[in-house]
Structure 1
Amino acid sequence: MAKVGIMSMQRIANYGSFLQAYALKAMIEKLGHDVQFVDYHVCPPVIQDTSESTNKLTRLFKKGLETFAFHAPLQHKLAFIKYKKNYARKYLPLLGITNDYNYQPELDYLVIGSDEVFNCIQKNTNVGFSPELFGADNHADKVITYAASFGNTTLSKLQQYKKDDEVASYLKEISAISVRDNNSGKIVQDLTGISPEYNLDPVLAYDYFNECKKIPELEVSERYLILYAYSGRITDAEADWIASYAKRKSLKVYAIGGVQKCANRFIDCLPFEVLAYFKGAEEVITDTFHGSIFSTIAHKPFTTIIRKSLGNSYGNEEKLADLLNRLGLDSRMTYEVQDAARINSNLIDYATVDELIARERLHTMRYLADQLDS
């Protein structure tokens, strides 16, 4: 039994981060290894934003004020603030994570990933530019990555901010590199000359609905549509259209992951219950990476709204287009929410999608087994 550490975005307070972390841990444990999560030291971000405080309490207070500014029912805003406040205490212990940070432990293997661990050209003070996320200053005998992503960090951005040579030097020291998208693969190839492995995000690679015993059976008496998006990303016009659309179809709107103007309910639940809600939904509208994945593994009709990256603003175009193309689900993408009426009326050939995912699950287990046994 090897001692394996996972360095990921496991402390980030959202369901996608939790479920990908849990899935990767479960897959490595299935190989017979002892698994722990490893923390990285947060460093200053490359893109400086004077409006972003480095003080945690100040950031939390600012986020609270932002929540009250959203156009959403007051009750939902209060529930959302409570959800964020209690997230770490309620959910991180389910991953075996405590309040004590686990920096640079002695390990046989360090696995970096999944999630946007390489997304280093951004202004998020919760992450910053941390060399440890590229394998620097570790105390492991071997370092690999699994489905790591640069997010919307591109090679041109690395060059613009003069971080390309530094990142290249870190990547060249990693024993095996696995990425989850073309943008990340191209950066690795261009900076190192190494062709990385491509693997699915852990939420797809791990068979949640057949292997995880923590997903409950929910009894919901009403028919509902899930709107899975961060607070503030669904515009008022989009929300008004979704409300009208759901009413025409006699569906309630359940907001998960953020508060929304058009929601009938804001759902605060265990991460595993999120998957149960997706399983029971009539359909889904999302603009997130993991919302698209949850919809896929739950076999639901869904529409994914693509957001373009403008300047230093955060967009999802690179990672969502890549994900849905890989799954043969590019027809679910749109820039206009009104297209959801047409898109969600089209059935998905989930038998074909499942065959593709099944092959990739075997690829994942082979990769992990090979790299954690050498």
Structure 2
Amino acid sequence: MKKVAIVTLIGYYNYGNRLQNYATQEVIESLGCKTQTIVYYKQVLAEKVPLDVAIKRKVVSFFNKTNREKYHAIKIRLINTLYKDLINERHKAFKLFTQTNINETDILYDKYIFNDLHGDYNFFVTGSDQVWHPFIENKPLYFLTFAPREKRIAYAPSFGVAELPESCFEEYKKYISEIPHLSVREQSGADIIKKLTGREAAVLVDPTLMLAKEKWISVSKPAMHKPTGRYLLTYFLGKLSDDAKKLIKTISVNNNLEVVQLASFKDRKRFSADPAEFIDYVNSSDIVLTDSFHGAVFSILFEKPFIVFDRIHEGPSMITRLETLLSKFKLESRRWQNMRDKKINDLFEIDFSHVPPILEAERKKATDFLKVALSESR
């Protein structure tokens, strides 16, 4: 049996991250392989300096930041302080889900250890999260530069942006050119690769879409704080616009729906809901309002009425992956900008009858890609 190492972002706080990792594992293992996800953390060896020198360095570093960077740093520190207990509880819940469902390695702290892994695995797979985002640390790791070229496979990774900064062109061109089996998650990613290397990259659906609804339900568990009655589910990773706030209130009042806010400090009792509960929350909801890619993915899988908002956050737009998703499944009408003029009750009307054949074709496309990539004897 071939052994495959999965190299993806590791973080015990984001639903999409944990669920795509699980799905990647299950998809590859369904093809007769054994998988393991590589867990790597950068080890920081602090230089021993006097306390006053250390404080001075931190102060100088802070004042060298732009006003926006200062605001962001202060905001993050305040959030981590004010909600420390909630954040820790959520981390533990996500960690337990991972230990139960995902086969991880012991933690590796030295990137050079990766050079010793070549004989342990037949292939190394990078994806499907935003592993190729231009602002991510340890870029060479997520382009699998530590592994022999013939063992590298890119399975639906995302750049997370529609365009790369010019400063990334040369290194990305080199990294991408050295991966024989190449695919991406968004059309914009394929366009970037074409521009940099002239190569055609297959655009594959996120691995979470590769698993059937029944498979996901088998992984889910009843959410501890799920309402006993009907509810509206929100899952926003960015700020809520005034439009979103108004719509949530109007829909909930007009339809007598409780509002469940996942990943929001405003809904404290549900903040620590783990990925298994996330699945249950989506599956049991009446309607989903989200700015999240995976919020939309699971709404489609469970055929739930959903509305997608553009994410409000600092940095480049992240709408490209949602645009690819909605376009692929002919559900562009579910973006809020295309629904503003609809009556409230009409927001619940959605036709999913055309989705299954599209999903079947996309699953076959991804499966065929992986079969070819994993077919060579290693």
Q: Which interval holds the TM-score relative to the shorter structure?
A: 0.7 to 0.9
Q: Name the counterpart of 2:147.
A: 138
Q: How does 1:1-374 map to 2 (within 5 A)?
A: 1-11=1-11, 13-39=13-39, 63=76, 65-66=78-79, 80-87=86-93, 89-94=95-100, 95-97=102-104, 100-101=107-108, 104=114, 105-106=117-118, 107-120=121-134, 122=135, 127-138=136-147, 141-152=150-161, 154-155=163-164, 157=165, 159=166, 162-210=167-215, 213-216=218-221, 220-230=227-237, 233-235=239-241, 238-260=244-266, 266-307=270-311, 313-335=315-337, 342=344, 345=347, 347-374=349-376
1:252 to 1:265, Cα distance in 2 relative to 1, 3 A? farther
Question: Could you say what secondary structure the match of 2:221 adopts?
Answer: coil
Superposed CA offset, 1:218-253 (max 9, x none)? 6852110100112x5114663354234312210011
| AA aligned opposite 2:131 | V
1:340 to 1:7, Cα distance in 2 relative to 1, 3 A? farther
1:221 to 1:307, Cα distance in 2 relative to 1, 3 A? closer
Question: Could you say what secondary structure the match of 1:163 adopts?
Answer: helix
Which deviates more from structure 2 when the two are superposed, residues 240-249 or residues 275-284?
240-249
Counterpart CA distance in 2 for 1:344 and 1:113 is 37
Counterpart CA distance in 1 for 2:179 and 2:104 is 25
1:341 to 1:257, Cα distance in 2 relative to 1, 3 A? farther
TM-score (norm 1): 0.81
Q: Name the counterpart of 2:48.
A: none
Q: Is the 8 A contact 2:93 2:273 kept in 1?
A: no
Structure 1 gaps, min length 5: 54-58, 70-76
Give the Å deviation of 1:93: 1.3
Question: Could you say what secondary structure the match of 1:227 adopts?
Answer: strand
Give the Å deviation of 1:271: 1.0
1:78 to 1:117, Cα distance in 2 relative to 1, 3 A? closer
Q: Name the counterpart of 1:72.
A: none
Counterpart CA distance in 1 for 2:242 and 2:310 is 17
1:290 to 1:185, Cα distance in 2 relative to 1, 3 A? same
Among the aligned pairs, what percent are the same residue? Answer: 26
| AA aligned opposite 1:257 | A
Superposed CA offset, 1:100-123 (max 9, x none)? 138522221011100111111x3x
Superposed CA offset, 1:156-182 (max 9, x none)? x2x1xx220111011111011111111
Structure 2 gaps, min length 5: 45-63
Q: CA RMSD in A?
A: 3.2
Counterpart CA distance in 2 for 1:331 and 1:109 is 40
Question: Could you say what secondary structure the match of 1:35 adopts?
Answer: strand
Q: Name the counterpart of 2:50.
A: none
1:221 to 1:350, Cα distance in 2 relative to 1, 3 A? same
Q: Is the 8 A contact 1:331 1:343 kept in 2?
A: no
Give the Å deviation of 1:13: 2.0
Q: How many residues align?
A: 344
**Is the helix fraction higher in 1 or 2?**
2
Q: Is the 8 A contact 1:303 1:344 kept in 2?
A: no
| AA aligned opposite 1:170 | Y
Superposed CA offset, 1:288-334 (max 9, x none)? 1110101111110000001378xx61422212112111111100012
Q: Is the 8 A contact 1:168 1:192 kept in 2?
A: yes
Q: Is the 8 A contact 2:251 2:344 kept in 1?
A: no
Counterpart CA distance in 1 for 2:374 and 2:344 is 45
Counterpart CA distance in 2 for 1:369 and 1:150 is 24
Q: Is the 8 A contact 2:235 2:291 kept in 1?
A: yes
1:291 to 1:344, Cα distance in 2 relative to 1, 3 A? farther
Greater C-alpha radius of gyration: 2
Counterpart CA distance in 1 for 2:316 and 2:122 is 36
| AA aligned opposite 1:63 | I
Give the Å deviation of 1:34: 1.2
1:220 to 1:346, Cα distance in 2 relative to 1, 3 A? closer
Counterpart CA distance in 1 for 2:271 and 2:23 is 22
